[in-house]
């Protein structure tokens, strides 16, 4: 780093880079300009500069400034300071948040009982110091609103050109300070199609087990971020190759080895998820079900062997398959139950739907039907099977949907009809698959609830960016008799 300091930053003028203000969020621009006119340094920082230089749409726009948090608060009425040690300013525009932080420096290294692990970084610093405390060179670039130039203290521009993900500083130290950076390396390499440089790769292979020091919620959040941008197959493969999966989800890692390593069906399932239309808005439940589908199959075999002549306990198989990820990552209950339900429902697709059948009409009203069908389609594609059954179910769902909405429209025209549909019931759904006997305590809790369970979706783990990753999937209205039945169940 010393040679960089002597030479000063590399500055790319407006004419030498592709960042246009037209591609910067208008509220981020407002913040940048306002800080600048108040006499402060005002930079766009982090991933947004990286993405703009790569011609990608940034997920969020963060601002860095030399203004102190209290000064930022005085400038913006729509500003909230968050964090106790290091105060960050959240400048609010409706649902959007522009995170604005004062430049800070890398905390002093201190060996504690926890090694180099850093619990916080909270000292103000210069722009150069701020760039050096960041994780990867491509994440350490600044865009200056005053000169419209890109400022590079860390060699990020060169690495962007070479599509290389390189740690700022010594990766052995940086990964020990914050082991989640190893997962971030995997995420960015997969997402951007970059190569992790040799030194950082070696450091991950050496320090992978440090990931166990990171807090479960952070790790859980990063695991689900690996599914974003339709790159889950690359991301989990890299996580496995770099031996991080062994620490995070040892049972899944073991399963991959026994299922053929790089030839395991899991990779094909993840590839199929990445290219499935449901991928962009998949819930974390569906993602978990994809990740654990092959473990579930193994568990089914095991349950089958033990059941003998008795009926197999399907919910038991799905819950057993998911127990390790639930325990290790402390995934939200809603994610767990959605994943388990989606897995349990797979057997229902073995039959072809027949028109007029109340049983099938009832099934397509299940709140998780569409995601269960998505998993079925994903697995069939991964196995190279034909999709005729999946298509038949999709067509059946569409017919039921059209019929139900025609019915509601008619009721609107003639509200006096004795068959009028209670609008409250329109999105009420039936928890039909709750086991009839001896429900587990969690299932009991869920089936007692009136109305639909809260639909779990990807934004449960979305970063706090003010945008949701997953819209609700549509579900069919429920016939009156079905609503009543669900209350009895
Ligand atoms: P994304 O597109 O996923 O938001 P990002 O690069 O913006 O990617 P964020 O998690 O939003 O990632 O973080 C913003 C910036 O903060 C990063 O670009 C990086 O400079 C810095 N940063 C985030 N996490 C760390 C970390 N653990 N260690 C060092 N710097 C970090
Ligand atoms: Mg970001």
With cut-offs at 50, 70 and 90, classify the pLDDT of residue 469.
very low
Ligand 1 pocket test: which of 47, 210, 222, 458 has the largest number of ligand atoms within 8 Å of its C-beta?
47
Rounded mean pLDDT, 157-184: 98
Please tell me the residue having the least CA distance from ligand 1 atom 11. Answer: 47
Note the pLDDT of residue 118. Answer: 58
Q: Are residues 130 and 8 part of one domain? A: yes
Rounded mean pLDDT, 205-212: 97
Note the pLDDT of residue 424. Answer: 38
Please tell me the residue having the least CA distance from ligand 1 atom 21. Answer: 134
Q: Are residues 154 and 169 part of one domain? A: no
Q: Domain containing 95 — which CATH number?
A: 3.30.460.10
User: If you ran DSSP here, which 8-state letter would residue 347 be given?
Assistant: G
User: If you ran DSSP here, which 8-state letter would residue 84 be given?
Assistant: S
Rounded mean pLDDT, 153-162: 98
Q: Do the domain assignments include residue 257?
A: no
Place of tokens 């030479």: 7
Residues contacting residue 60 through CB under 8 Å, at least 6 positions apart: 47, 48, 97, 99, 463, 465, 466
Which one is catalytic: 51, 60, 159, 344?
A: 60
Q: Domain containing 221 — which CATH number?
A: 1.10.110.30
Residue 190: nearest ligand to its CA?
1
Place of tokens 């139900």: 404
Please tell me the residue having the least CA distance from ligand 1 atom 9. Answer: 47
Ligand 1 pocket test: which of 128, 139, 189 has the largest number of ligand atoms within 8 Å of its C-beta?
139
Q: Are residues 187 and 116 part of one domain? A: no
Please tell me the residue having the least CA distance from ligand 1 atom 24. Answer: 135
Q: Do the domain assignments include residue 255?
A: no
Which one is catalytic: 51, 62, 274, 460?
A: 62
Note the pLDDT of residue 316. Answer: 83
Of 118, 136, 158, the position where a domain reaches its end is 158
Q: Are residues 317 and 168 part of one domain? A: no
Instruction: State the residue range of the domain holding 53.
Output: 1-158
Burial of 251 (C-beta count, 10 Å sphere; 0-12/13-18/19+): middle
Q: Are residues 350 and 473 part of one domain? A: yes
- Residue 134 CA: which ligand 1 atom is closest? 30
Q: What is the percent of the chain with per-residue pLDDT over 90, rounded to a whole number?
A: 68
Q: Are residues 227 and 304 part of one domain? A: no
Which one is catalytic: 51, 66, 130, 135?
A: 135
Backbone φ and ψ for 414, nearest 5 degrees, come out as -125, 75
Ligand 1 pocket test: which of 134, 156, 165, 186 has the largest number of ligand atoms within 8 Å of its C-beta?
134
Q: Are residues 315 and 341 part of one domain? A: yes
Count Cβ atoms below 10 Å from residue 68 Cβ, excluding itself. 14
For residue 51, indicate whether it is catalytic.
no
Rounded to whole angstroms, the Cα distance separating 153 from 161 reads 16
Most confident of 5-9, 159-163, 421-425: 159-163
How far, in Å, from the CA of 242 to the mean position of ligand 2? 24
Q: Do the domain assignments include residue 393?
A: yes
Of 125, 142, 158, the position where a domain reaches its end is 158
How far, in Å, from the CA of 134 to the mean position of ligand 1? 7
For residue 60, indicate whether it is catalytic.
yes
Tokens of 330: 């402390």
pTM (predicted TM-score): 0.82
Q: Are residues 478 and 454 part of one domain? A: yes
Q: Are residues 188 and 69 part of one domain? A: no
How far, in Å, from the CA of 243 to the mean position of ligand 1? 23
Q: Do the domain assignments include residue 261?
A: no
- Number of structural domains (the chain) is 3
Note the pLDDT of residue 153. Answer: 98
Q: Do the domain assignments include residue 462?
A: yes
Residue 141: nearest ligand to its CA?
1
For residue 152, indicate whether it is catalytic.
no
Q: Which long-range contacts (CB under 8 A, 24 or more apart) does 387-393 make?
A: 389/349, 389/350, 389/352, 390/349, 392/352, 392/353, 393/349, 393/353, 393/364
Is pLDDT of 484 > 70? Answer: no
Q: Do the domain assignments include residue 294?
A: yes
Q: Are residues 101 and 36 part of one domain? A: yes
37-49 core/surface letters (b: 16 or more CB in 10 A; e: else): eeebbbbbbbbbb
Q: Do the domain assignments include residue 256?
A: no
Q: Domain containing 432 — which CATH number?
A: 1.10.3090
Rounded to whole angstroms, the Cα distance separating 188 from 259 reads 27
Q: Are residues 170 and 150 part of one domain? A: no
Alpha-carbon torsion, ordered 315, 316, 317, 322, to 10 deg: 90
Rounded to whole angstroms, the Cα distance separating 284 from 459 reads 8
Rounded to whole angstroms, the Cα distance separating 369 from 341 reads 9
Count Cβ atoms below 10 Å from residue 112 Cβ, excluding itself. 9
With cut-offs at 50, 70 and 90, classify the pLDDT of residue 361.
confident
Q: Do the domain assignments include residue 149?
A: yes
Q: Are residues 176 and 149 part of one domain? A: no
Is pLDDT of 103 > 50? Answer: yes
Residues lining ligand 1, Cβ inside 6 A: 46-47, 59-60, 62, 134-135, 139-140, 178, 180-181
């Amino acid at each position: 780093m010393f040679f960089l300091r002597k030479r000063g930053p590399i500055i790319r003028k407006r004419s030498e880079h592709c960042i246009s203000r037209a591609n910067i969020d208008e509220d981020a621009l407002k913040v940048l300009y306002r800080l600048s006119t108040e006499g402060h340094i005002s930079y766009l920082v982090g991933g947004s500069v990286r993405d703009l230089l790569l011609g990608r749409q940034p997920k969020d726009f963060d601002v860095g400034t030399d203004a102190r948090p209290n000064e930022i608060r005085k400038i913006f009425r729509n500003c909230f300071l968050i964090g106790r040690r290091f105060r960050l300013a959240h400048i609010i525009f409706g649902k959007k948040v522009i995170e604005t932080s004062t430049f800070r420096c890398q905390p002093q290294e201190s060996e504690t009982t926890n090694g180099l692990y850093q619990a916080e970084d909270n000292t103000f610093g210069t722009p150069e110091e701020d760039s050096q405390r960041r994780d990867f060179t491509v994440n350490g670039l600044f865009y200056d609103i005053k000169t419209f130039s890109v400022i590079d203290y860390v060699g990020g521009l060169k690495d962007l050109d070479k599509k290389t993900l390189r740690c700022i500083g010594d990766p052995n130290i940086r990964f020990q300070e914050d082991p989640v950076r190893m997962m971030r390396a995997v995420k960015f390499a997969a997402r951007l199609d970059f190569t992790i440089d040799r030194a950082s790769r070696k450091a991950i292979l050496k320090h992978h087990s440090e990931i166990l020091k990171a807090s479960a919620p952070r790790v859980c959040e990063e695991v689900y971020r690996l599914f974003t941008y339709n790159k889950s197959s690359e991301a989990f493969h890299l996580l496995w190759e770099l031996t991080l999966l062994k620490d995070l989800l040892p049972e899944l890692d073991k399963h991959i080895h026994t299922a053929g390593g790089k030839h395991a069906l899991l990779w094909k399932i993840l590839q199929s998820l990445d290219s499935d239309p449901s991928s962009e808005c998949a819930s974390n439940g569906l993602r978990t079900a994809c990740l654990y589908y092959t473990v579930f199959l193994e568990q089914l075999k095991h349950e089958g062997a033990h059941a003998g002549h008795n009926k197999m306990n399907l919910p038991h198989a799905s819950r057993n398959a998911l127990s390790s990820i639930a325990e290790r990552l402390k995934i939200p209950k809603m994610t767990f139950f959605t994943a388990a339900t989606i897995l349990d429902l797979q057997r229902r697709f073995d039959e072809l739907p027949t028109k007029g059948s109340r049983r099938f009409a009832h099934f397509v009203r299940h709140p998780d039907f569409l995601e269960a069908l998505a998993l079925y389609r994903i697995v069939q594609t991964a196995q190279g099977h034909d999709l005729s059954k999946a298509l038949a179910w999709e067509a059946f769902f569409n017919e039921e949907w059209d019929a139900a909405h025609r019915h509601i429209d008619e009721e609107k025209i003639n509200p006096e009809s004795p068959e009028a549909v209670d609008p409250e019931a329109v999105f009420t759904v039936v928890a039909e698959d709750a086991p009839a006997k001896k429900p587990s305590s969690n299932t009991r809790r869920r089936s007692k609830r009136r109305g639909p369970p809260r639909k779990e979706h990807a934004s449960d783990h979305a970063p706090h960016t003010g945008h949701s990753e997953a819209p609700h999937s549509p579900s069919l209205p429920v016939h009156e008799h079905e609503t009543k039945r669900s209350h009895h169940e």
